[in-house]
Amino acid sequence: MKSKGQLYRDSKNGKVAGVCAGVAAYFGWEAWLVRIIFISAVLLAGGPFFIMAYIAAWFILDKKPVQHLSVGSMQSSSGKGWQNSDSSEAVEVKSKVWQSGEPPQQAFHDIVGQFDRLETRLRRMETYVTSSQYQLNREISQL
């Protein structure tokens, strides 16, 4: 289990108020697993207590803040995944079923796709820089 430090409500990924999604993000689990645990607890161990706890968490926990990342950088989050902040595609690899993220094969496919898009972009830039149009634009801008 990993801890992200602060517990927030994740309204973007949540169904009702984002409490279960926030708890799942905090512990690094899948949101569906936390929802099943919560519903099981409500049905098997006394519903009013857990429903009141959910409502209290709804009002007590802050919403998850929006994260702004630097454009054009590749970032690693705790060595488990890579994120291209240019396209906001995060690839988290999970090692256990209950952890959030993608299976390794799907993560590898996503990373290969990201590198293919970056390579295409790099080829277009190299084509432009080696063209005569670039030389002409450079000389005009130096005037």
pLDDT at 124 over 50: yes
Paired with 63 in beta bridges are 9
Q: Compute the mean pLDDT over every residue in the chain, rounded to the nearest whole number.
A: 76
Give the sign of the dihedral formed by CA 15, CA 77, CA 99, CA 107.
positive
Any residues with CB less than 8 A from the CB of 111 and at least 6 apart, and which?
82, 91
pLDDT at 73 over 50: no
Q: What are the Cα distances from residue 38, in Å, to 14, 129, 141?
A: 13, 57, 64
Read off the tokens for 32. 């569906």
pLDDT at 90 over 80: no
